Amino acid sequence: MPEKKAVLTDADRRLLAALQKGFSPVPEPFRELAAQVGMTEEALIARLRELKEMGVIRRLGAIIDSRKIGYTGTLCALAVPPKRIPEVAEVINSYPEVTHNYVREHETYNVWFTILAPSHERINQILREIREKTGINQFLNLPARRIFKIRVNFDLEGSHDRAGAAPDPGAGE
Amino acid sequence: MTEQEQRLILELGNNFPLTSRPFREIGKRVGMSEEAVIAKVKEYLEKGIIRRLSAALRQQHVGFTANAMVVWQVPPERVEEVGRKLASFPEVTHCYERLPTPEWPYNLYTMIHRPRREECWEIVRRLSEAVGIKDFLVLFSTQELKRSNPQYFTERGEGSE
8 Å CB contact of A154 and B111:
no
**pLDDT tens readout for residues B20-44:** 999 999 999 999 999 999 999 999 9
Residue ranges of the domains in chain B?
3-47, 59-140
Hey, what CATH class is A66-142 in? alpha beta
**Which CATH class, in words, describes the domain spanning A1-61?**
mainly alpha
Domain ranges in chain A with CATH number 3.30.70.3460:
66-142
Is 50 exceeded by the pLDDT of residue A157? yes
Q: What is the arithmetic mean of pLDDT over A100-104?
A: 94
pLDDT at A53 over 50: yes
Answer whether A140's CB lies under 8 Å from B104's CB: yes
Question: What is the per-residue pLDDT for B160?
Answer: 35
CA pair distance B120, B106, nearest whole angstrom: 19
According to CATH, where is 1.10.10 located in chain A?
1-61
Q: Is residue B70 over pLDDT 90?
A: yes
Query: Model confidence over A88-98: pLDDT tens digits?
Result: 999 999 999 99
pLDDT on residue B63 = 64
Distance (Å) from the C-alpha of residue A32 to the closest C-alpha of chain B? Answer: 11
Chain B residues with beta carbon closer than 8 angstroms to that of A57: 55-58
Please, what is the average pLDDT of chain B? 90
| A112-155 pLDDT tens trace | 999 999 999 999 999 999 999 999 999 999 999 999 988 755 55
Facing residue for A19 by CB, picked from B45, B55, B86? B55
The answer to whether B62 contacts chain A (CB < 8 Å) is yes
Instruction: Quote the percentage of chain B above a pLDDT of 90.
Output: 75
Q: From B53, which residue of chain A is nearest by alpha-carbon distance?
A: A62
Cβ-Cβ contacts under 8 Å, B141 against chain A = 102-104, 112
Of B115 and A145, the structure prediction assigns the larger pLDDT to: A145
Name the CATH code of domain B59-140 (choices 1.20.140.150, 1.10.40.30, 3.30.70.3460, 3.20.20.80). 3.30.70.3460
